[in-house]
A and B are shown apart, each in its own frame.
Chain A
Amino acid sequence: MADSPLFQALHMEMAHALCADQEKGLGALEGVGFRVGQGLSERLTKEMPSFKDELDVVKFLCKDLWINVFKKQVDNLRTNHQGTYMLQDNQFLPLSRLSNGKQYLEEAPKFLAFTCGLVKGALSNLGFDSTVTAEVTAMPSSKFQVVIQKS
């Protein structure tokens, strides 16, 4: 069984400790996620053939990267085929321990910032600049919007 109590514990603690100063904290969390995303995508793609196109890269995020970090794939991927992608995870691991529904909704951003950075970092390592934002309406389901910048 894939289990990472140390990572979960570290993620949770980072969300609490770094966000003592909320505004600065979210940026710091995203920064940590960014570095991890770069390193992780580097390691995961070492043995893989190069990607066909942008969509292929995003599918890699939804599958390989997500499984590596959250033990499951993204549940739903949508795109407008013009650089904007929407990744939906209905049982987003970091949130599933918080609540089921609307409770603690205001805490959600702390637990999304790392992942936004993670996605951004992974894409950056693969040659894509992007902005990533996250939205939660009912825990533990989250949506990540990825907009890949045209070079």
Chain B
Amino acid sequence: MSRPMNRRQDNHKISRELFVLTYGALVAQLCKDYEKDEDVNKYLDRMGYDIGIRLIEDFLARSAMRKCRSYSETVDVIAQVAFKMYLGITPSVSCSNTTENEFFLMLDNNPLVDFVEELPPGRSSLCYCNLLCGVIRGALEMVHLAAEVTFVQDRLKGDDVTEIGITFPKRLEVKKHKRNK
């Protein structure tokens, strides 16, 4: 029948489809249970956080990543290794010009919204993929990096692109001096 390589790729596709379908069903159920978009968003974020604090172990075990030495390296790993591993996409990374602690992940081909053309009526403030923000935040916290993670732009809400913003606390100046010694 199919060559082993094809079957492996098929299996990944099947697994991902199941996750995408389940995620959509979950969002639909939450919209049924909670009237306010804000409540659904918070719920998704919290669930994502709980998943993230556990998923990090799976990630570290499967990727055998060494400790990252900078915020920039960390975000690159999230985009190029983690997103690739779990969702099969590689968001592009950009850094805010003004500071070195604010990054953006641009999601070009987000599989989570594969079956979603637009937000349900009356749900214009829904952050459909908010689970992702929670997952990233939870996972980062387990490697001792506190960060704020939110959707800064969302195609489903009418923006041109879908972008996740990751903001780390500013590094203290003291560390710089120590390095120069």
Contacts and interface: CB of A to CB of B under 8 A. Distances in A.
Q: A and B from one assembly?
A: yes
A36 B15 contact: no
Which label, helix, strand, loop or mixed, suits the secondary structure of the B interface? Answer: helix
Contacts of B32: 31
Contacts of A11: 22
A35 B28 contact: yes
B117 to A, nearest CB: 15
Q: How large is the interface on B (under 10, 10 to 19, 20 to 34, 35 or more residues)?
A: 20 to 34
Interface in A13-36: 13-14, 16-18, 28, 31-36
A39 B14 CA distance: 13
A6 B86 contact: yes
A17 B22 contact: no
B96 interface: no
Contacts of A9: 51, 54-55, 58
A32 B25 contact: yes
B26 A1 contact: no
Given A17-B46, A17-B47, A28-B29, A68 B54 contact: no
A43 interface: yes
A1 B55 contact: no
B141 interface: no
A11 B24 CA distance: 13
Contacts of B71: none
A interface, size bucket: 20 to 34
Contacts of B47: 13-14, 17
A11 B18 CA distance: 11
Scoring A16, A17, A28, A68 by chain B CB atoms within 10 A of each residue's CB, the highest score goes to A17
Contacts of B26: 10, 14, 32
Given A1-B11, A32-B29, A35-B28, A10 B50 contact: no
A36 B25 contact: yes
B50 A4 contact: no
A127 interface: no
Interface in B15-57: 15-19, 21-26, 28-29, 32-33, 43, 46-47, 50-51, 54-55
Interface of A: 1-7, 9-11, 13-14, 16-18, 28, 31-36, 39-40, 43, 68-69
> Across chains A and B, which 8 residue pairs bring their CB atoms closest together, nearest first?
A35-B25, A4-B15, A2-B11, A7-B19, A32-B25, A6-B19, A39-B21, A9-B51
Given A4-B18, A35-B28, 17 more contacts: A4-B19, A5-B58, A6-B55, A10-B26, A13-B47, A13-B50, A14-B26, A14-B47, A18-B29, A31-B29, A31-B32, A35-B24, A36-B21, A36-B22, A36-B25, A39-B21, A40-B21
